Amino acid sequence: MRKLILILAILIQIIELIGQNSSTAEICIIGETHDETNFYNAKILDSLLAIIKPDLILVELDSSFFTSDFQFDTVANPGLYGSISVKAVNNYISRNTKTDIRPYDITGRNNFYKENDYFNRKNKMYQDIFRYSIKDSISERDYTDFIILALSLQCINSLSLKSLEELNSQAVTNLTFLQQTIYLNNAINLVESNDLLRNHRDFANLQRDYWDKRNSQMVQNILKLSENYARIVVITGSLHKYLLSMGIQMSGKDFKIKEFWEY
């Protein structure tokens, strides 16, 4: 009887070891607000990293923000530590020197925005859309597209989030994806259907196409960079989380996606 118990105990240990050795690599995607809130700051993110203990941290920057040995390049980018995620990651790796950090955003993101006068054109387009919406001449179809656009923005802006866990919940992640889809596509519908807005047509399509291209490239970069690591944290703006998660799951790669509160 004692021998049987001993054999069973040994078998259990062997099974546990096999399970540990064959475990699937984990990717934890943390959706963040880019501005500090009462539930999100560098200290909170640093504490989460300390709990998760990743061996790779991916940050939403491109390679121009890093030195050749993958340290934050604060000489070329002196305002870099103004970013919550950069400050938190830098604090964490100063104590955990074996953890690697890498950029995963699309190459030349900021140059693209600058070369295309992106944010000025974006603001002007949506301002003109809102001005058009109050005209008596607006068609029923355009008015419907505008109302859906306005309501989607109102739903997001009226959220009263109280925790980072709530921001990263599946319900909020789904809602932000839905809102962003409406935001991009209804703008195209409106500028292409009315002569008063058609001067924005090129930008509306550029905005959506670049969003799709950027998210697709981010997924590919995450998959490539995550090879040979066991536990990866991806820090991203909350609007990207749904698309990054779905892209990884649909890639066919052997990764397990976990939420930070599961650690």
pLDDT reported for residue 17:
46
Query: Average pLDDT, stretch 112-137?
Result: 96
**What pLDDT is attached to residue 7?**
53
Nearest CA among 243, 137, 235 for reference residue 184 = 243
Q: Using one digit for the tens of pLDDT, what is the confidence trace for 57-100? A: 999 999 999 999 999 999 999 999 999 999 999 999 999 999 99
> Is 10 among the domain residues?
no
For residue 17, tell me if it sits in a domain: no
Q: Is residue 7 part of a domain?
A: no
Q: Report the run of H or E that residue 56 belongs to, with start and end.
A: strand 56-59
Amino acid at 231: R
Q: pLDDT at residue 230 above 50?
A: yes
Query: Does some domain include residue 3?
Result: no
Q: Span 27-52, mean pLDDT?
A: 96
Domain count, the chain: 1
The answer as to whether 239 is a domain residue is yes
Q: Does 75 map to a domain?
A: yes
Each residue's pLDDT tens digit, 169-225: 999 999 999 999 999 999 999 999 988 999 999 999 999 999 999 999 999 999 999
- What distance in Å separates the CA atoms of residue 140 and residue 71, rounded to the nearest whole number? 54
Percent of the chain with pLDDT over 90: 87
pLDDT computed for residue 137 by the predictor:
87
**Is the model's pLDDT at 16 over the cut of 70?**
no
Q: Predicted confidence band at 15 (pLDDT cuts at 50, 70, 90)?
A: very low
157 located within any domain: yes
Dig out the tokens for 40 from the structure. Answer: 């999100």
- Contact assessment for residue 235 and residue 30, using Cβ atoms and an 8 Å cutoff: yes
Say whether pLDDT at 21 is over 80: no
Q: In what order do the strands lie in the sheet with 255-258?
A: 100-103, 56-59, 231-237, 25-32, 255-258
Q: What is the mean pLDDT of residues 241-254?
A: 95
The percent of residues above 70 in pLDDT, for the chain, comes to 91
Query: What is the C-alpha separation between 183 and 188, in angstroms, rounded?
Result: 9
| Assigned domain for 190 exists | yes
Q: Which domain holds residue 248?
A: 25-263
pLDDT score for 13: 54
**How large is the average pLDDT for residues 212-240?**
97
- Residue 100: strand, helix, or coil: strand
pLDDT band of 259, cuts 50, 70, 90: very high
